[in-house]
Amino acid sequence: MTRDLKIGILVGSLRRESFSRKIALAVAPMLGAKLIDISNLDMYNEDLDENPPQAWVDFRKEVKSLDALLFVTPEYNRSLPAVLKNALDVGSRPYGQSVWQGKPGAVISVSPGGLGAFGANHALRQAVVFLDIPMMQQPEAYISNVANILDTDGKITNENTQKFLEDYARAFVQFALKFK
């Protein structure tokens, strides 16, 4: 079913051992998706649009080729991480040339705490409304206490979480196919 969709996953954490990255790696095979590297994107600066950094050019081309987007993010100070917001900004410019427009999206927010990065989830949703990324509304995915559901290799050990993510992935594919 996912062979009909080219899905990219953007991870809002650069940390090598990030929980968000581990969850993204666990979900990627369920979607037949690949992680999109945002670690090398210079901070967005409109002055660079006339001669953009190669990393921006490559990133924009890669996102443009996708059919759907999954965002997996931690929460920093009740909001989304700067690296993820920067990726959104880089992809949305130059004005009128956004690579995001009309691509269906979904978000999984991840936290070692009990709130499941609720703030980041909704801050991301607020930002993508302007970018015309139709977001899957249900089911919502807030993964709390994430450190307790992963083994040392980053594999999900909690059967309920594993099943939830499988169901979430299926729901996202069904949602995304509506836009194909």
Separation between Cα atoms, residue 161 and residue 21, nearest integer Å: 16
* Each residue's pLDDT tens digit, 26-48: 999 999 999 999 999 999 999 99
pLDDT band at 4 (very low <50, low <70, confident <90, very high): confident
The fraction of the chain above a pLDDT of 90, given in percent, is 91
* Residue pLDDT, tens place only, 124-151: 999 999 999 999 999 999 999 999 999 9
Q: How far is CA 24 from CA 20, 104, 128, in A?
A: 6, 17, 19
Each domain of the chain, given as residue ranges in start order, spans: 2-177
Whole-number Å distance between alpha carbons of 161 and 25: 14
- Encode pLDDT of 40-84 as tens digits: 999 999 999 999 999 999 999 999 999 999 999 999 889 999 999
Give the pLDDT confidence score for residue 157 in this predicted structure: 96
Residue with tokens 């690579």: 99
CATH code: domain 2-177 is 3.40.50.360
Half-sphere exposure of 91 (CA within 13 A, CB side): 29
Q: Residue 3: what pLDDT?
A: 67
pTM of the model: 0.96
pLDDT confidence band for 2 (50 / 70 / 90): low
| CA atoms of 27 and 31, how far apart (whole Å) | 7
Q: How confident is the model at residue 115 (pLDDT cuts 50, 70, 90)?
A: confident
Whether 1 has a pLDDT exceeding 60, the answer reads no
- With contact defined as beta carbons under 8 Å apart, do 50 and 180 qualify? no
Q: Determine the Cα–Cα distance for residues 153 and 26; give it in Å rounded to an integer.
A: 11
Q: How confident is the model at residue 180 (pLDDT cuts 50, 70, 90)?
A: confident
The mean pLDDT of 71-100, rounded to a whole number, is 96
Confidence grade of residue 90 (pLDDT, cut at 50, 70, 90): very high
- Please, what's the largest Cα pairwise distance for the chain? 50
